[in-house]
Structure 1
Amino acid sequence: MADYTNVIHNLRLEQYSIVYAAWLENVFTTRWWLLVGLVITMYTLWWILVDKARIKTLLLYGSLVAVSRVILDVVMAINLGRWVYAVSLFPMAPDIFVHDLTVTPLTYMMVYQYSNNWKQFWIANLIGSSLIFYGILPLFEYLGIFKGFPGWSLTGSFLVIFIAAGVMRAIMVLIENVEDKAKAKVKQASEQTSFIAKPAMKPDRDKE
């Protein structure tokens, strides 16, 4: 059986050298500064709009969605070569910081925050997914920041993340239900403990 370990290692080193050379050509260009501006704008808007009383829950949901987007990029961009981020904020391929760890999770955290039920969620999910895949991504393709290759489908990517966002919300609902039941058990146990009979007090002697 052939050992491909060294071959894969050498190809990855060669790939990174190309990625790094491309990054050096694009760093501090107009398109690179556009990515910087997008990241700063999105984090600023997120901090202004986020419900800070629910920030841990929202960050958990955003992290789950980010994992989905990273998997999509790893499978489709790296392994199958369906697209390339021609301009990257950092010398990495794919540029997961801008697309997978900023644009996607911050958008869907707002989707989750402003959805009180499944109907509202699917509507907000449709709006958020359309903004990313039919707004930002085509703009990036027009500007040469993103490039798709044969076999890539914009609608396919849209559907994957649209469905993944719904699956992650279902997981969040399940987690919250488990958490609520656990809290209820703790509260019930605490109440039962407080009703433990106290030692009977010695009765007062009758006054003569």
Structure 2
Amino acid sequence: MNFYHWILLNNIADPRWWLLFISVFWPWIVWWKLVIKKRLFEILTYGLLWAAMATWLDLLGTSEGMWEYPFKLYGKVSCLLPADVSVIPVLYMLLYQYGERWKTFLLGSMLVSSLLSFVFEPLFLKLNMLNLITWTHIKSWFAFIFLGLVTRLIIIMLKKAQQKFLVD
């Protein structure tokens, strides 16, 4: 495929394409400026776990017909990779970093979930970048909160296992 065919196939003249393209890099730049470097490995592990889960669940949701993306960064990929590997993990890594206590983390998770479910999703619907088929915003809200808590719990258990391993 030549370069011009690729440009036509991927709609790079569309502002929505640029929104998705920028959303791959911009959150990571912001994150790098804000991350506590002493906790880099722990926070990045949390985020990479989030990215893996978000991508897998997005692929599952699209393949099961719960939602679809009429407009994507790259047309041959069924999921919305900029959200799965950048926007969502970065938001949750910042939450993990600043929400060290469970209560703070839970409240922050509700806030981040609200932002993703009730601001970003409706915006993507309006821009014709998302089509909810059997899925709803409230399902997203509960799923984001649940996954945030489970991911935090996994990291806490891994940290305890690591400490035990280092002591033994």
Q: What TM-score results when the alignment is normalised by the length of structure 1?
A: 0.72
After TM superposition, give the deviation of residue 97 of structure 1 in Å.
2.0
Deviations 1:149-191 (A, max 9, x none): 2x21111122112101101111111111111222233xxxxxx
Identity level (%): 30
Counterpart amino acid of residue 14 in structure 2? T
Which residue in the other structure is 1:112 paired with? 96
Which residue in the other structure is 1:47 paired with? 32
* RCO comparison, higher one (Cα < 8 Å, 6+): 2
Deviations 1:64-96 (A, max 9, x none): 222221232122211x21211122112333234
Counterpart amino acid of residue 68 in structure 2? V
Structure 1 residue 35 corresponds to structure 2 residue 20: yes
Q: What TM-score results when the alignment is normalised by the length of structure 2?
A: 0.87
CA contact (8 A) 1:83 1:152 kept: yes
Which residue in the other structure is 1:173 paired with? 156
After TM superposition, give the deviation of residue 131 of structure 1 in Å.
1.4
The 2-side partners of 1:143 and 1:181 are apart by 50
CA contact (8 A) 1:85 1:93 kept: no
SS of residue in 1 equivalent to 2:71:
coil
Counterpart amino acid of residue 141 in structure 1? L
Which residue in the other structure is 1:195 paired with? none
Which residue in the other structure is 1:92 paired with? 76
How well do the aligned residues superpose, as a CA RMSD in angstroms?
2.0
CA contact (8 A) 2:68 2:132 kept: yes
The 2-side partners of 1:139 and 1:70 are apart by 20
5 Å matches for 1:179-194? 179-185=162-168
The 2-side partners of 1:107 and 1:179 are apart by 25
After superposing on structure 2, the runs of 4+ consecutive aligned residues of structure 1 that deviate more than 4 Å are: none
5 Å matches for 1:60-139? 60-78=45-63, 80-139=64-123
Which residue in the other structure is 2:142 paired with? 159
SS of residue in 2 equivalent to 1:137:
helix
Q: How many residues align?
A: 163
The verdict on how the C-alpha distance between 1:25 and 1:171 changes in structure 2, with shifts beyond 3 A counting, is closer
After TM superposition, give the deviation of residue 134 of structure 1 in Å.
1.3
The structure with the largest alpha-carbon Rg is 1
SS of residue in 1 equivalent to 2:154:
helix
The 2-side partners of 1:92 and 1:161 are apart by 26
